[in-house]
Amino acid sequence: MIAVTGANGLLGSFVVRKLIETQTSFVALKRKNSDTTLLNDVAEKITWRDTDILDPESLQECLNDITGVIHCAAKVSFNPRDEEKLLQVNVEGTRHIVNACLALGIKRLAHVSSVAALGRQKDQTLIDESNLWKDSPFNTAYGVSKYKAELEVFRGQEEGLSTVIINPSVILAPGDWEKSSAKLFKYAWKERPFYTDGSLNYVDVRDAASIIYQLYFSTIESERFIASGGTTTIKAFFDKLCGLLQKKAPGIKLSKRTLQVVARLELWRSYVTGSAPLITQETARLADTFFSYNNKKVINKLGFQFQTIDKTLHWCAEFYRKQTELKN
């Protein structure tokens, strides 16, 4: 039986749906009292177990009868005040997962990482799984935490655990647009006027979940796989999305210098109000960069075909239109 960590999150919920669709035996892990709204429509098909990946004892008790783990739980943040929490959840949490697997004789671990864990350098334009990590101002604290989490997974492999790592790019999905990458859809819906230069690497959440599922059940070990459907510009992304939502697209381009000034003001505002900054120095630094990720490995190894961005955005836009109609 498989355990899915972070099962109530954006990606984790679609992994759960994939397991239900394929009639795979699983349990879904979450923290006590956490929100499971994303899976309300299939609630009767899910066995939930409450645990915390930062509590090794509770985690081992929860995984006692498990044969494999799909580790989706993680913290995503670009807030400088969250750096310690990123390391705690993403690195220590993964360490506890790996240790529990080794202690309990669990055979298989599929670890959901991020393309951010591959590292980025100033002069790079195309990045693949062979990229070697180097410290760089283009790496975020989140990326550092996911890279260090991967080191824990590779340690587990060396100690006898069968592992595979999946590195998704920005996940596009219908969901709570107050959270995660779904905030992009809220930005478009609210007709915000600003955009930046730079690229957006994206993957349909259904594709990411399918790749995780296929790799978990493969014989592939100790390898990373980029899960990215393609690359577009920020401007082209919002033009296309706003057209589908019948909203006005952003038309005012912000320079990098302007963003850096705004980031400093946002940092001050966040300290005063206690809320998260809308823009940080990290996001400002990356705003006009162009990186893309080579997805040929997963295409060749699995024969995988990614959804087109048109199909993905149409699916998401239809969801958000219906959601807003229900609220009105």
Nearest to 100 by CA among 73, 62, 74: 62
In a domain, 218, yes or no: yes
pLDDT at position 149 is 99
Mean pLDDT of 28-48: 96
pLDDT at position 165 is 99
Query: Which band of pLDDT confidence, cut at 50, 70 and 90, is reported for residue 74?
Result: very high
In a domain, 66, yes or no: yes
In a domain, 55, yes or no: yes
Query: Which band of pLDDT confidence, cut at 50, 70 and 90, is reported for residue 78?
Result: confident
Q: How far is CA 172 from CA 21, 94, 202, 230, in A?
A: 20, 24, 7, 12
pLDDT at position 59 is 98
In a domain, 279, yes or no: no
> What does the alpha-carbon distance between residue 295 and residue 12 come to, in Å, rounded to a whole number?
21
> What does the alpha-carbon distance between residue 100 and residue 108 come to, in Å, rounded to a whole number?
12
Mean pLDDT of 287-310: 95
pLDDT at position 271 is 78
In this structure, how many other beta carbons lie within 10 angstroms of the beta carbon of residue 34? 13
In a domain, 136, yes or no: yes
> What does the alpha-carbon distance between residue 172 and residue 197 come to, in Å, rounded to a whole number?
20
Tens digits of residue pLDDT in 137-163: 889 999 999 999 999 999 999 999 999
Is the pLDDT assigned to residue 275 strictly greater than 80? Answer: no
Mean pLDDT of 171-186: 89
In a domain, 325, yes or no: no
Looking at the 3D structure of the chain, how many domains does it have? 1
In a domain, 263, yes or no: no
Tens digits of residue pLDDT in 191-245: 999 998 889 999 999 999 999 999 999 999 999 999 999 999 999 999 999 999 9
Range of the domain at 126: 2-171+205-228+292-306
> What does the alpha-carbon distance between residue 63 and residue 43 come to, in Å, rounded to a whole number?
21
Tokens of 277: 């900054």
Enclosing H/E stretch for 284: helix 281-286
pLDDT at position 328 is 56
Torsion region of 310: left, alpha or beta (phi above 0 gives left; psi -120 to 50 gives alpha): alpha
Q: What is the pTM of this model?
A: 0.94
In a domain, 297, yes or no: yes
pLDDT at position 326 is 60
Query: Which band of pLDDT confidence, cut at 50, 70 and 90, is reported for residue 268?
Result: confident
Instruction: Tell me the pLDDT of the chain averaged across its residues.
Output: 94
Q: Select the more confidently predicted residue: 104 or 271.
A: 104
Alpha carbon distance, N-terminus to C-terminus of the chain: 43
CATH number at residue 91: 3.40.50.720
Nearest to 106 by CA among 149, 63, 73: 63
